[in-house]
Amino acid sequence: MNRIHTQTEWIARARKVLPAAGFGNFDASIVIARGEGSHVWDEDGNEYVDYLIGSGPMLLGHGHPEVMEAVLEQLPKGMTFFANNAKGIELAEAIVDAVPCCEQVRFVTSGGEADMYAIRLARAYTGKPKILKFEGGYHGMSAEAQMSLAPSKHVNFPTPVPDSAGIPQGVADDMLIAPFNDLEAVASLLNEHEDIAAIIAEPLQRIIPAQPGFLQGLRNLCDKHGVLLIFDEIVTGFRLAYGGAQERYGVTPDICTLGKIIGGGFPLAALGASAEIMAHFDKAVVGADKWLMQLGTLSGNPVASAAGLKTMEVLRREGQYERLRGLGQTLMDFQSTALTAQGIAHRICGDPTLFDIYFTDADPVDYRTAKHSDPKINEVWNTTLRANSVFKSPGKLYPSLDLTLDDLELTKSAFQRGAKAVSKYQTRAM
């Protein structure tokens, strides 16, 4: 009979074989054993209400029965083919039907891969080298995306700061950095540089909302200067609305990237655009010189496609997004009520479908203003929440559709205890 290993034992084993004892994604001090519905359990059997939900994909909760049925139906038919398959084609049709900018899509395996190809596609289509991104914007792990993702030192715009070792100076030479929500800065850069291929942006940057008119302003500037607009909708796609941020905000980019929810919890992502732009993936149409090579062993994986198709089918049902927004707003209100009762300065930032707190008395509008007045406060808050059975990342809270009234009550209580813990910390620190 196999002995059950404790979480401490698993962590010790991880230290031997994994750099920093983890996968690079999340706090390596917790090892998740299983998930079911809106809950996860660690290897010691501790149960949590899950607001991390795999960093976003599990919008329906873990092990949704209809998604599981679709996956189990596909598994005996084949797990991967490196060839076209019906489920992948159906998923492409569903995405094209849902997302305004997409006439065609190309599948990849991860969101970072999708963003990398979107940047390359923009360069192929325009014949220009430079990319404008916003400081603090997250677009995966490519060399371009790692420019000014989370710079610890502030430099003058538009100078990029690499956030990773191993990135050559040549990458920085073709990147321009601007502050989010600053149309004047973007307009100035577009006037100064005629070799910009695209602007890439998260329509909701991490949890910082675009100010009224900002996204449409980007659209107008791109049209004026012949620059492509890329929306990174890895997070916002099928979360903010069924048609993503494009539907929610009424602004259509030239190219978008999608991930997380479209794979239903399995590794799958995509990029999409007009047929004219996407023609660069077809050598017979554009010729060898303008052809963008793209392939991947698991691209369009049928199991992931089946999971994504069923997830999207469930999301199309009446009332799903109203429920999601209602759950999110309730959680926002619980947070604000608990913190206000303790006299704690805070701003709840984001959208009811994705949000978190900045402990500050100023409204965050870009990377440099999205700061806690004291970072320790956020640590106290999140540590207390986890100690009270709420599992989330340090900087985001993802509601899922499987949350129950009991989950909400438990979370409300955890917020109240978190607020009291923060208040005690602030009193001691004075």
Contacts of range 26-31, beta carbons closer than 8 Å, 24 or more positions apart: 26/52, 26/55, 26/393, 31/7
Q: Which position among 117, 125, 138, 398 bears the catalytic label?
A: 138
Say which amino acid occupies 404: T
Q: Which position among 232, 254, 366, 407 bears the catalytic label?
A: 232
Do residues 272 and 105 touch, judged by C-beta distance below 8 A?
yes
Element (H, E) at 107: strand 104-108
Do residues 398 and 52 touch, judged by C-beta distance below 8 A?
yes
Do residues 356 and 52 touch, judged by C-beta distance below 8 A?
no
DSSP codes joined into one string, 337-392 = HHHHHTT---EEEEETTEEEEE-SSS---STTT---SSHHHHHHHHHHHHHTTEE-
To the query of whether residue 138 is one of the catalytic residues in this protein, the response is: yes
Residue with tokens 């149309």: 183
Say whether 24 sits in a helix, a strand or coil.
coil
DSSP codes joined into one string, 47-62 = EEEESSGGGTT-TT-B
Residue with tokens 């004291």: 374
Do residues 262 and 269 touch, judged by C-beta distance below 8 A?
yes
Q: Which position among 87, 133, 260, 392 bears the catalytic label?
A: 260
To the query of whether residue 232 is one of the catalytic residues in this protein, the response is: yes
Phi, psi of 73 (to 5 degrees): -70, -35
Residue with tokens 């092990």: 63
How far apart CA 113 and CA 206 sit, in angstroms, is 18
Q: Known catalytic residues?
A: 138, 232, 260
